[in-house]
Chain A
Amino acid sequence: MGTFILRRLLLAIPSLLGISLVLFTVLALAPGDPFEELATNPNVPPEVRMALRAQLGLDDPVWQRYIHWLTSMLKGDWGFSFISRIDVDQLIAQRVPVTLAVIGMSQLVALLIALPVGILAAVRPYSWFDRIASTLSFVGFSLPTFFTGLLFILFFSIYLGWFPFVFRSDLSETGFAWWVAQFKQSIMPIMVLALFQAASWMRYVRSSVLDVVRLDYVTTARSKGLKERVVIVKHVVRNALIPVVTLVALQMPGVFGGAIITEQIFRIPGIGSLLIDSIQRNDTPVIMAVTFVFAGLVILFNLLADILYGWLDPRISYR
Chain B
Amino acid sequence: MAGSTPASATASPGGGAGPLAGGRKPVSNSPWAEAWRRFKRHRLAFFSLWLLGILSLMVLLGPMFYKVGINDIDFTARLSGPSATHPLGTDDLGRDLLARMLYGGRISLAVGLAAMLTGIVIGVIIGAIAGISRGWVDAALMWLTDLFLSLPQLPLLLLLIFFFRDSLKSVFGPEIGIFLLIVLVIGGLSWMPVARLVRAQFFSLREKEFVEAARALGASTQRQVVRHILPNALGPVIVAATINVAAAIISESTLSFLGLGFPPDIPTWGRILNDSRDYMELALHWALFPGMAIFVAVLTINFIGDGLRDALDPRRVL
Asked if A142 contacts B302 (CB within 8 A), the reply is: yes
**Is A295 engaged at the interface, CB distance under 8 Å to the other chain?**
yes
Chain B interface mostly helix, strand, loop or mixed? helix
List residues 164-198 of chain A with CB under 8 A from any CB of chain B.
none
Asked if A150 contacts B287 (CB within 8 A), the reply is: yes
Asked if B152 contacts A31 (CB within 8 A), the reply is: no
**Is A19 engaged at the interface, CB distance under 8 Å to the other chain?**
yes
Interface size class on chain A is 35 or more
Asked if A144 contacts B150 (CB within 8 A), the reply is: no
Considering the complex, give the chain A residue whose CB is closest to the CB of B297: A142
Chain A interface mostly helix, strand, loop or mixed? helix
**Is B74 engaged at the interface, CB distance under 8 Å to the other chain?**
no
Asked if B152 contacts A257 (CB within 8 A), the reply is: yes
Q: How far is the CA of A298 from the CA of B148 in the complex (A)?
A: 11
Per-residue interface assignment for chain A, residues 253 to 272, with 1 indicating a CB less than 8 Å from any chain B CB and 0 otherwise:
11011001100100000000
Q: How far is the CB of B101 from chain A (nearest CB, A)?
A: 14
**Is B159 engaged at the interface, CB distance under 8 Å to the other chain?**
yes
**Is B44 engaged at the interface, CB distance under 8 Å to the other chain?**
yes
List residues 253-302 of chain A with CB under 8 A from any CB of chain B.
253-254, 256-257, 260-261, 264, 275-276, 279-280, 287-288, 290-291, 294-295, 297-299, 302
**Is A147 engaged at the interface, CB distance under 8 Å to the other chain?**
yes
Q: How far is the CB of A250 from chain B (nearest CB, A)?
A: 7
Asked if B257 contacts A295 (CB within 8 A), the reply is: no
Instruction: Provide the residues of chain A in CB contact with B281, threshold 8 Å.
Output: 158
Instruction: Provide the residues of chain B in CB contact with A132, threshold 8 Å.
Output: none
Asked if B280 contacts A158 (CB within 8 A), the reply is: yes
CB within 8 A of B253: which of A27, A30, A146, A299? A146
Considering the complex, give the chain A residue whose CB is closest to the CB of B158: A279
Asked if B257 contacts A146 (CB within 8 A), the reply is: yes
Per-residue interface assignment for chain B, residues 249 to 288, with 1 indicating a CB less than 8 Å from any chain A CB and 0 otherwise:
0100110011110000000001001000100110010010
Q: How far is the CB of B280 from chain A (nearest CB, A)?
A: 6
Instruction: Provide the residues of chain B in CB contact with A27, threshold 8 Å.
Output: 163
Instruction: Provide the residues of chain B in CB contact with A67, threshold 8 Å.
Output: none
Asked if B164 contacts A30 (CB within 8 A), the reply is: yes
Q: How far is the CA of A280 from the CA of B162 in the complex (A)?
A: 9
Q: A139-B299, A150-B287 are in contact. Are A253 and B150 (CB under 8 A)?
A: yes
Q: How far is the CB of A88 from chain B (nearest CB, A)?
A: 15
Q: A158-B280, A287-B159 are in contact. Are A143 and B152 (CB under 8 A)?
A: no
Q: How far is the CA of A11 from the CA of B294 in the complex (A)?
A: 40
**Is A32 engaged at the interface, CB distance under 8 Å to the other chain?**
yes
Instruction: Provide the residues of chain B in CB contact with A31, threshold 8 Å.
Output: 163-164, 166-167
Considering the complex, give the chain A residue whose CB is closest to the CB of B157: A257
Q: How far is the CA of A11 from the CA of B67 in the complex (A)?
A: 59
Q: How far is the CB of B47 from chain A (nearest CB, A)?
A: 12
Per-residue interface assignment for chain B, residues 192 to 212, with 1 indicating a CB less than 8 Å from any chain A CB and 0 otherwise:
000000000000000000000
Instruction: Provide the residues of chain A in CB contact with B294, threshold 8 Å.
Output: 144, 147
Q: How far is the CB of A72 from chain B (nearest CB, A)?
A: 19
Asked if A26 contacts B163 (CB within 8 A), the reply is: yes
**Is B246 engaged at the interface, CB distance under 8 Å to the other chain?**
yes
Considering the complex, give the chain B residue whose CB is closest to the CB of A30: B163
Asked if A19 contacts B151 (CB within 8 A), the reply is: yes
Q: How far is the CB of B292 from chain A (nearest CB, A)?
A: 8
Asked if B162 contacts A302 (CB within 8 A), the reply is: no
Instruction: Provide the residues of chain A in CB contact with B298, threshold 8 Å.
Output: 142-144
Instruction: Provide the residues of chain B in CB contact with A261, threshold 8 Å.
Output: 154, 254, 257-258
Q: How far is the CA of A138 from the CA of B298 in the complex (A)?
A: 10
Asked if A257 contacts B306 (CB within 8 A), the reply is: no
Considering the complex, give the chain B residue whose CB is closest to the CB of A144: B250
Asked if A291 contacts B159 (CB within 8 A), the reply is: yes
User: Could you jot down 20 A-B contacts, CB within 8 Å?
Assistant: A23-B159, A29-B163, A31-B163, A135-B44, A138-B306, A142-B302, A144-B294, A146-B257, A146-B273, A150-B280, A150-B287, A150-B291, A250-B149, A253-B153, A257-B154, A257-B254, A260-B158, A297-B152, A299-B150, A302-B150
8 smallest CB-CB distances across A and B, nearest first, come from A257-B154, A30-B163, A294-B152, A142-B299, A147-B291, A142-B298, A31-B167, A18-B147
Other A-B pairs, 11, CB within 8 Å; known A142-B295, A142-B298, A279-B260? A26-B159, A144-B291, A146-B257, A253-B150, A253-B154, A256-B154, A257-B154, A264-B258, A276-B259, A280-B259, A294-B155
B-binding residues in A (CB < 8 A): 14-15, 18-19, 22-23, 26-27, 29-32, 135, 138-139, 141-144, 146-147, 150-151, 153-154, 158, 250, 253-254, 256-257, 260-261, 264, 275-276, 279-280, 287-288, 290-291, 294-295, 297-299, 302
